[in-house]
Amino acid sequence: MTAYAAVVLAGGAGRRMGGRDKPVLAVGGVPMRERVLTAVADASPRILVGPGPAIAGVRLTREVPAGGGPVAAVAAGLALLDTEVPAVALLAADLPLLTRPAVGDLLSRLHRIDVDRPDDAGTPSTGTPSTGTLSPGPLSIGTPRTGTSDLGTPRTGTPGTGAAVFDGACYVDRSGQRQTLCGVWRPGALRAALDRLTVRRGGDVAGAPLRELLADLMVCEVTWHGDGPEPWFDCDTEHDLRRAEEWTR
């Protein structure tokens, strides 16, 4: 399996939970943030961005300012990664149904280089629970596309193959909406996007939406066809917690 890091974002306000710290709420007797961190137990390092408390074997940091939103949290997590790390999982801390195979499938999609072949696109290989389509920026799911960089130049993989190189891979739900905090990304692409966004926003990314950070990246959109509930199911309400409890029994 390809080496990777994991950054888990745990700094949300939890307004629909009455302001409670969502990631520490338990599902099946285990806090949600610990369920997420267990799903990426083979990642190195594992970084938790939020108020804590710290967890053994996990690096703890905080976005600046505290409560500054997901882009500020991504920036804080990236600051702790070595430049040699080839991939990083960006995950919300309230995904109690996330599994190691679901993360592994995203990693395999990130590193595929043959997805722009018309006869392959959208066809899963034996044993994989999902299919992927290639989309730059906010394009919709359904048709493989050749992505371009923000300068209009196609990104390619091995010279002479015309194979696309993804900046990231994330799941999409049945409506085609990207679940960007259930995805894996190339740290270099994220850093470059963060630099561009910082310039556009006059040096301050606090409050910026994640979609703005990821808007011009080439993304492999992955559809989940595995057994069990979708790995991106998040718990925003008490009803969501009850549903997650039922699925973990």
* pLDDT at 13 (0 to 100): 56
* pLDDT at 2 (0 to 100): 74
Decide the pairing of beta strands 130-136 and 46-49.
unpaired
* pLDDT at 88 (0 to 100): 98
For the chain, the structural domain boundaries read 5-247
* pLDDT at 35 (0 to 100): 97
Residue with tokens 């990314």: 205
pLDDT tens string 38-70: 999 999 999 999 998 889 999 999 999 999 999
101 SS3 class? helix
CATH number for the segment(s) 5-247: 3.90.550.10
**Cα 184 to Cα 167: distance, rounded to the nearest angstrom:** 9
* pLDDT at 137 (0 to 100): 45
Residue 80 Cα to chain centre, angstroms:
17
* pLDDT at 61 (0 to 100): 96
pLDDT tens string 77-104: 999 999 999 999 999 999 999 999 999 9
Minimal CA–CA distance to 169: which of 227, 243, 109, 212? 109
Find out whether 235 and 27 touch, Cβ atoms under 8 Å.
yes
Is the N-terminal amide bond of 45 cis, ω within 30° of 0? yes
**Cα 93 to Cα 91: distance, rounded to the nearest angstrom:** 6
Decide the pairing of beta strands 5-9 and 88-92.
parallel
Tokens found for residue 27: 């599902």
**List of the chain residues with pLDDT < 70:** 1, 12-19, 113-164
pTM above 0.75, yes or no: yes
* pLDDT at 164 (0 to 100): 62
Residue with tokens 């590193």: 111
